[in-house]
Amino acid sequence: MNRFFKGAACGLALLIHQSFPAFAEDVTLNAIFMKQAAYSEDDTKAMAKTFEAANPGLKVNLEFVPYEALHDKIVAAQGAGSSGYDVVLFDVIWPPEFATKGFLQDVTARVPKTDRDKVFDGAWTTVDYDGKIWGMPWILDTKYLFYNQDMLKQAGISAPPKTFEELAEQAKIIKDKGIVKFPIVWSWSQAEALICDYTSMVGGAKGSFTQDGKLSFDTGGSVEAVNYMKKTLDDGVTNPNSREYLEEDVRKVFSAGEAAFAMNWTYMFNMANDPKESKVAGKIGIVPAPGFKGKAEASAINGSMGLGISAGSKHPDEAWKFITFMTSQETQNKYAKLSLPIWKSSYDDPAVTKGQEKLIDAAKVSLGVMFARPMTPSYPELSSILQKNIQQVLLGQASTDDAMTAATKAAGRLR
Amino acid sequence: MAPAQQDRTAWLLLTPMISIMVLVTAFPLLNTLWLAFTDASLTGQGYVWQWIGLENFAYILDDSDFRAAVGRTTYFTVLSVSAEVVLGVLVALLLNQEFKGRTLVRALLILPWALPTIVNAVMWRLIYNPEYGSLNALLTQIGLLDAYRSWLGDPATAMNMVILADIWKNYPLIALIALAALQTVPKDLYEAAIMDGANAWTRFWKITLPGIIGSLSVAMVLRAIEAFKVFDIFYVMTRGGPADSTKTVSFFVYQESFTYLRAGSGAAYALTVTAMSGLMISIYVVMLVRREKRS
Amino acid sequence: MRRSLTATILVYVAVALFVASILAPVAWLFIMSISDANDLTTIPLRWIPEQPDFSRYARLFSLEEGSAGLTFLSALRNSVIVAVSATAIALAAGIPAAYSFSRYPGRMPLLYAVIVTYMMPPVVLILPLYKVFSALGLLNNVTSLIIVYCTILLPFVTWLMKSGFDSVPVEIEQAASIDGANLFQILTRITLPVAAASTGAAALFALLLAWDEFFYALLYTSDTRAKTLPVAIADFAAGRATDYGLISAVGLLAALPPVLIGFFLQKSLLSGLSAGSVKG
């Protein structure tokens, strides 16, 4: 009996709560973020605290998951209705999928028109799909070419490479002089990281992922990129272990002084310069990833992430308020040490650039040429197809032409 | 007790287990069964679906990637389970001998088993690390290996190296069960056999093995079921790579449902996997029953 | 039986090999946990760290807000709650069921049906159950994990215990039955004590299985209130600043509780298994 009354009272309270939202003073937002070095858990929590202090009555519940679990958790929560997330962090490759599946709310009307010009175009592509905007870019990231200044000097090389061809040549010199056994290290394990390096090169070869409106990987820049990857392996200038490495492995190898060149995200700059984590601190050079000779001066992959409002959220206005705060220039400038702001004018702000001038110089070039991975709702599957086929080439199991033809064919069958 | 009353008691005793299993798994199972005959995909408004009959299963029959995954999983299951059984029995025989410090050494069997799979996987990944791993360091320092190798980056070795990690963690369980079973084999049987002039080899096949085969087979079936749906260790160690060479069926089903959001065909794949595992186990059980009848 | 000297030497050599093969990987885990990040990336490998560094263990026992210690210790608490409760429920429901299968034959297909649920890839149950738990408000709550783990543990607790009961002679029960004991009394006072050791074995199996589970826990939990150890460990391993030493330390500490229980239960486990508890 008692329990029945309790239940009834709860139900009643719920009813009142829902029909008179004015009484609901406190709103709690559930937000999902990821564990990472740039905008670390502590930083994100501190940002949320500041937000809460400025907005009485609003509370933010933060959850942090590894990147590998982020997609799955967002997906699993879709069936969950109101107890799901209000604010979700999404990778640049997910908006087509999330938008077509109705996981995210269209926020085109919420974004101030005036902001369009103040933020990098590359950042906007992170949240754009189908002519609509699905969130605000938050983490603006791309892969740079890092080099070990000492090793280059030792080899008598005066300037870091401007093209991929030069990169291979310089690496050959360093290898021949016996400075380091395998001069270049990449993250070419069967994972998204491989596709990031590949995409960067396709961009650097001014290639394209579509032909006559269809996905295509067996011509032009795409083939040039894969051939280049394979050739550096055959010539012994790429560390063969790259084929099982992720970004963290690349950082470890480079920080241990076992490589002259490495492709990696922004975060490695400050970590490779930290003597506690690195044996090569203070010797780090950073430049935009090169392009192919005669095609491009530099290349970059769009590896950004955005914040969006989940379709099931009951508090879209509050959620947007939080997103606006998190992506504001003020917040981003304050935490610019490991993750650079999305706002153009920040890059001339001494408070942001101080101590990381080299990174900022590279960023100014790279962020302008960010190349996007194929935009398709079936991106996850397409990525699996590409990973498998490119790896087969790198492992010597298939020729570039065969593998990339197979990939194109499989992409055409995507359901 | 009267048969009717016995029957009632039997069901009464089963009630708690059945209620838990039905309450928790009935809805998901029916849901999966239904999904398998649709083209459902997950959206923000729940499942969007259409009835497509057996189309999913027809697709599976024709899917060479899935067949390859089944082949790999079978390889993993057969190799790891049989190695675990052989090693387990050998170690059990060894630990059944008299030697100083036996209790302590026996207790060591629990160590690999208690290490969470996630930790085991991370640990072996670090051991296999091509640059800083201890395996390369050890093998080159004792002269077995000329140059450092990429164990998990090479399709020729990746699967076997994961199997090795799995064996290390799971064979102690088999050893423990075999060791316990050894205690039940009557000592006088051995004495009689020795009197008859049987050598150690004969004694093992005629007395020891028949004495422990019952316990071993339950353990084997449980391990085989677990091995066939293996997921965690690959999720941490290789994520299916390199070039799909370690992509198992559970990983396949996981990708289909979670990464590609195709709930319908994901369910069909899952049912197929379950049926395969069931078939495999029942063949084994039938063989076992026949064997028992013969002896 | 007396052994020849050669045989004795062979036994000791084999035992030494066995001990080394078990201890070496774990020892390496320990070395990593006390080594500096730079020491571990030295070639040729430095086996013993120059300066052992136990700070990671200290970090794991600190209780400051937001510290690794808080994450670890709450995950430890959650894991203990989940594993112990799920095991207890699985035993409470599995023992009567096993007894029924053992003493009143003829319902074996039901047992096989239960085992089939154990063969399903977990992905099958994960999404539908996610919805159910979300509707009940049980997400990020240890209760939901306990419920799911019960269904994982029950099939094989039942199976193991059935073979355990099979080896207990019916005669001793009949004697008690003539004395007027009811079924409950017979089960708790006679059959179970005889099969006590097999119960211990089943309990340890169940406990370790629940202790180890990762995938459900990953999706159903979101913070320190419910995250279990495997999820916490995966968290430590994630993020683009992997501290292998910290992962090693957490891994070792996570193995400690089951190892202690195992050492403690070892005697009863061996005799329990030997009482025929896992005969087919």
Name the pLDDT band for A12 (thresholds 50, 70, 90): very low
Residue B90 or C59, more confident: B90
Inter-chain CB proximity C251 and B123 less than 8 Å: yes
Q: Is the pLDDT of residue B118 over 70?
A: yes
In the prediction, which pLDDT does A181 show?
Answer: 93
DSSP A238: B
Name the pLDDT band for A333 (thresholds 50, 70, 90): very high
Name the pLDDT band for C268 (thresholds 50, 70, 90): low
Residue A92 to residue A308: CA distance in whole angstroms: 12
Which of A168, A203, A205 has the alpha carbon at shortest distance from A186?
A168
Residue A401 to residue A404: CA distance in whole angstroms: 5
Q: Are residues C45 and C87 in the same domain?
A: no
- Percent of all residues in chain A with a pLDDT value above 70, rounded to a whole number: 93
| A41 vs C contacts (CB less than 8 Å) | 66
Query: What is the Cα B230 distance to its own chain's centre?
Result: 7
Residue A354 to residue B242: CA distance in whole angstroms: 41
Inter-chain CB proximity A66 and C239 less than 8 Å: yes
Highest mean pLDDT among A14-18, B79-83, C50-54: B79-83
Inter-chain CB proximity B43 and A378 less than 8 Å: no
As given in the structure block, the two tokens for residue B160 are: 């076997």
Which residues make Cβ contacts (< 8 Å) with residue C61, sequence separation at least 6?
A: C69, C72, C73
| C237 vs A contacts (CB less than 8 Å) | 66
B253: in domain: yes
Name the pLDDT band for C270 (thresholds 50, 70, 90): low
C60: in domain: no
Name the pLDDT band for C131 (thresholds 50, 70, 90): confident
In the prediction, which pLDDT does C277 show?
Answer: 38
Contact A285, A152 (CB under 8 A): yes
In the prediction, which pLDDT does A133 show?
Answer: 96
User: Mapping DSSP to helix (H, G, I), strand (E, B) and coil, where does residue C200 land?
Assistant: helix
Residue A283 or C39, more confident: A283
Residue C239, sorted as left (phi over 0), alpha (psi -120 to 50) or beta, turns out to be left
Inter-chain CB proximity B42 and A388 less than 8 Å: no
Contact A317, A24 (CB under 8 A): no
As given in the structure block, the two tokens for residue B55 are: 């189309």
B46: in domain: no
Query: What is the Cα B45 distance to its own chain's centre?
Result: 37
Contact A388, A374 (CB under 8 A): no
| B258 vs A contacts (CB less than 8 Å) | 71-72, 75-76
CB atoms within 10 A of CB B51: 11
In single-letter form, the type of residue at position B2 comes to: A
- Give the Cα-Cα-Cα angle A237, A238, A240 (nearest 5 degrees): 125
**Distance of CA C169 to CAs A23, A301, C96, C183, Å?**
68, 71, 17, 16
In the prediction, which pLDDT does A15 show?
Answer: 42
> Which string of b and e fits C38-52 if b means at least 16 CB within 10 Å?
bbbbeeebbeebeee
Rounded to an integer, the average pLDDT of B54-70 is 92
Inter-chain CB proximity C238 and A67 less than 8 Å: yes
Q: Is the pLDDT of residue A180 over 60?
A: yes
- Chains in contact with C via at least 3 Cβ–Cβ pairs below 8 Å: A, B
pLDDT digits (tens, 9 = 90+) for C8-50: 999 999 999 999 999 999 999 999 889 887 777 776 777 777 7
At C136, which CATH number? 1.10.3720.10
Contact B39, B48 (CB under 8 A): no
Q: Is the pLDDT of residue A299 over 50?
A: yes
Least confident of A246-255, A314-323, C154-163: C154-163
Q: Is the pLDDT of residue B82 over 50?
A: yes
Residue B102 to residue B96: CA distance in whole angstroms: 9
Angle between helices C123-136 and B3-35 (to 10 degrees): 100
Chain A nearest CA to C119, separation (Å): 22
Rounded to an integer, the average pLDDT of A19-27 is 57
Residue A374 to residue A215: CA distance in whole angstroms: 8
In the prediction, which pLDDT does B266 show?
Answer: 92
Name the pLDDT band for B236 (thresholds 50, 70, 90): confident
| A252 vs B contacts (CB less than 8 Å) | 131-132
Name the pLDDT band for B294 (thresholds 50, 70, 90): low
Contact A285, A149 (CB under 8 A): yes
Q: Are residues C33 and C103 in the same domain?
A: no
Residue A162 to residue A289: CA distance in whole angstroms: 8
pLDDT digits (tens, 9 = 90+) for B93-105: 999 888 888 888 8
Q: Which residue of C has its CA nearest to B14?
A: C97
Q: Which residue of B has its CA nearest to C271?
A: B180
Q: Does A84 touch chain C (CB under 8 A)?
A: yes
In the prediction, which pLDDT does C99 show?
Answer: 93
Name the pLDDT band for C262 (thresholds 50, 70, 90): confident
Residue with tokens 């391990």: B223
Q: Which residue of A has its CA nearest to C241?
A: A37
| C32 vs B contacts (CB less than 8 Å) | 126
**Distance of CA A197 to CAs A242, A290, B42, C30, C159, Å?**
11, 11, 30, 35, 51
What's the number of domains chain C is made of?
2
Query: What is the Cα C2 distance to its own chain's centre?
Result: 39
Highest mean pLDDT among B268-277, C61-70, C175-184: B268-277
Among the partner-chain residues A36, A72, A83, the one whose CB lies closest to the CB of C219 is A72
C168: in domain: yes
Residue A164 to residue A293: CA distance in whole angstroms: 7
Which of A40, A154, A248, A72 has the alpha carbon at shortest distance from B132?
A248
Inter-chain CB proximity C251 and B122 less than 8 Å: yes
Q: Does B16 touch chain C (CB under 8 A)?
A: yes
Residue B242 to residue A240: CA distance in whole angstroms: 13
B90: in domain: yes
Domain ranges of chain A: 25-141+303-371, 143-301+378-412
Q: Does C51 touch chain A (CB under 8 A)?
A: no
Residue A116 to residue A344: CA distance in whole angstroms: 11
Q: Is the pLDDT of residue C144 over 60?
A: yes
C86: in domain: yes
CATH class of A25-141+303-371: alpha beta
Inter-chain CB proximity B28 and C125 less than 8 Å: yes
Domain containing C36: what range? 1-53
Rounded to an integer, the average pLDDT of B59-72 is 93
Q: Are residues C40 and C134 in the same domain?
A: no
B38: in domain: no
Least confident of A115-124, C64-73, C170-179, C186-195: C64-73
Q: Does A183 touch chain C (CB under 8 A)?
A: no
pLDDT digits (tens, 9 = 90+) for A51-104: 999 999 999 999 988 888 899 889 888 766 556 899 999 999 999 999 999 999
What's the number of domains chain B is made of?
1
Question: For every residue of A373-415, which 3-state class applies, written as one string?
Answer: CCCCCCHHHHHHHHHHHHHHHHCCCCCHHHHHHHHHHHHHCCC
Q: Does C241 touch chain B (CB under 8 A)?
A: no
Which of C132, C140, C152 has the alpha carbon at shortest distance from C78?
C140
Residue with tokens 């408004």: B45
pLDDT digits (tens, 9 = 90+) for A111-124: 998 888 999 988 99
| C254 vs B contacts (CB less than 8 Å) | 115-116, 119
In the prediction, which pLDDT does A50 show?
Answer: 96
Among the partner-chain residues C19, C128, C208, the one whose CB lies closest to the CB of B108 is C19
Residue C239 or C109, more confident: C109
Q: Are residues C31 and C143 in the same domain?
A: no
Q: Is the pLDDT of residue B41 over 90?
A: no
Mutate to test the interface with A, among B261, B265, B269 (most CBs of A within 10 A): B261
Among the partner-chain residues A32, A45, A271, the one whose CB lies closest to the CB of C241 is A271
Q: Are residues C108 and C203 in the same domain?
A: yes
Rounded to an integer, the average pLDDT of C152-179 is 84
Inter-chain CB proximity B260 and A72 less than 8 Å: no
| A395 vs B contacts (CB less than 8 Å) | 154-155, 242-243
Chain C nearest CA to B213, separation (Å): 8
Inter-chain CB proximity B46 and A79 less than 8 Å: yes
- Give the Cα-Cα-Cα angle A402, A403, A405 (nearest 5 degrees): 65
Name the C residues in 238-277 with CB < 8 Å from any A CB.
Answer: 238-242
pLDDT digits (tens, 9 = 90+) for C61-84: 877 766 778 888 999 999 999 999
How many residue pairs bridge chain A and chain C with CB atoms within 8 Å of each other?
83
Residue with tokens 């990339």: A404
In the prediction, which pLDDT does A8 show?
Answer: 44
Q: Is the pLDDT of residue B76 over 60?
A: yes
| C67 vs A contacts (CB less than 8 Å) | none
Mutate to test the interface with A, among B52, B131, B245, B247 (most CBs of A within 10 A): B131
B158: in domain: yes
Name the pLDDT band for A142 (thresholds 50, 70, 90): very high
Rounded to an integer, the average pLDDT of A385-395 is 96
Mutate to test the interface with B, among C4, C76, C127 (most CBs of B within 10 A): C127
CB atoms within 10 A of CB A234: 10
In the prediction, which pLDDT does B163 show?
Answer: 97
Rounded to an integer, the average pLDDT of A359-366 is 92
Q: What is the DSSP string of A342-361?
A: SBGGGGG-HHHHTT-HHHHH
Residue C12 to residue C19: CA distance in whole angstroms: 10
Fold agreement (A25-141+303-371, A143-301+378-412): yes
Residue C87 to residue C154: CA distance in whole angstroms: 9
Name the pLDDT band for B78 (thresholds 50, 70, 90): very high
Residue B101, sorted as left (phi over 0), alpha (psi -120 to 50) or beta, turns out to be left
Domain containing B94: what range? 52-294
Q: Are residues C36 and C135 in the same domain?
A: no
Chain C nearest CA to A153, separation (Å): 23
| A265 vs C contacts (CB less than 8 Å) | 240
| B129 vs A contacts (CB less than 8 Å) | 249
Residue C95 to residue C274: CA distance in whole angstroms: 19
CB atoms within 10 A of CB A118: 13
Inter-chain CB proximity C135 and A38 less than 8 Å: no
Q: Are residues C37 and C88 in the same domain?
A: no
Inter-chain CB proximity B110 and C263 less than 8 Å: yes
Which of C155, C152, C109, C113 has the alpha carbon at shortest distance from C129?
C152
Q: Are residues C136 and C213 in the same domain?
A: yes
The CATH number fitting domain A143-301+378-412, selected from 3.40.190.10, 3.40.50.720, 3.10.50.40, 3.40.640.10: 3.40.190.10
| β-strand partners of A145 | A263, A287
Residue A282, sorted as left (phi over 0), alpha (psi -120 to 50) or beta, turns out to be left
Name the pLDDT band for C194 (thresholds 50, 70, 90): confident
In the prediction, which pLDDT does A307 show?
Answer: 97
Residue A63: half-sphere exposure toward Cβ, Cα within 13 Å: 28
Q: Does C55 touch chain A (CB under 8 A)?
A: no
Rounded to an integer, the average pLDDT of B21-42 is 91
Q: Does A244 touch chain B (CB under 8 A)?
A: yes
As given in the structure block, the two tokens for residue C186 are: 């017979």
As given in the structure block, the two tokens for residue B17 are: 């287990």
Inter-chain CB proximity A101 and B44 less than 8 Å: yes
Query: What is the Cα A405 distance to its own chain's centre?
Result: 27
| B260 vs A contacts (CB less than 8 Å) | 378, 380-381
In the prediction, which pLDDT does A389 show?
Answer: 96
Residue C140 to residue C225: CA distance in whole angstroms: 7
Longest Cα separation, chain B? 77
For chain A, count helices (H), then strands (E). 18, 15
Average pLDDT, chain B: 88
Inter-chain CB proximity C28 and B177 less than 8 Å: no
| A248 vs C contacts (CB less than 8 Å) | 240-242
C16 burial level (CB within 10 Å; 0-12, 13-18, 19+): exposed
DSSP A374: P
Mutate to test the interface with A, among C55, C240, C242 (most CBs of A within 10 A): C240
Residue B58 to residue A140: CA distance in whole angstroms: 44
**Distance of CA A34 to CAs A50, A65, A103, A302, C95, Å?**
19, 5, 18, 18, 43
Contact C41, B133 (CB under 8 A): no
Which residues make Cβ contacts (< 8 Å) with residue A2, sequence separation at least 6?
A: none
At B80, which CATH number? 1.10.3720.10
Contact C277, C202 (CB under 8 A): yes
As given in the structure block, the two tokens for residue A295 are: 């095609």
CB atoms within 10 A of CB A191: 21
Residue C273 or A335, more confident: A335
DSSP A163: B
User: Mapping DSSP to helix (H, G, I), strand (E, B) and coil, where does residue C108 land?
Assistant: helix
Highest mean pLDDT among C83-97, C126-140, C175-189: C83-97
Query: What is the Cα B52 distance to its own chain's centre?
Result: 34
Rounded to an integer, the average pLDDT of B121-131 is 90
Q: Does C237 touch chain B (CB under 8 A)?
A: yes
Q: Are residues C175 and C73 in the same domain?
A: yes
Average pLDDT, chain C: 84
Q: Are residues C110 and C212 in the same domain?
A: yes
Residue B3 or B38, more confident: B38
Average pLDDT, chain A: 89
ipTM of the complex: 0.86
Residue C134 to residue C144: CA distance in whole angstroms: 10
| B31 vs C contacts (CB less than 8 Å) | 128
| β-strand partners of A184 | A238, A261
In the prediction, which pLDDT does B69 show?
Answer: 95
Among the partner-chain residues C15, C183, C233, the one whose CB lies closest to the CB of B9 is C183
C59: in domain: no
Name the B residues in 131-150 with CB < 8 Å from any A CB.
Answer: 131-132, 150
In the prediction, which pLDDT does A395 show?
Answer: 95
| β-strand partners of B203 | none
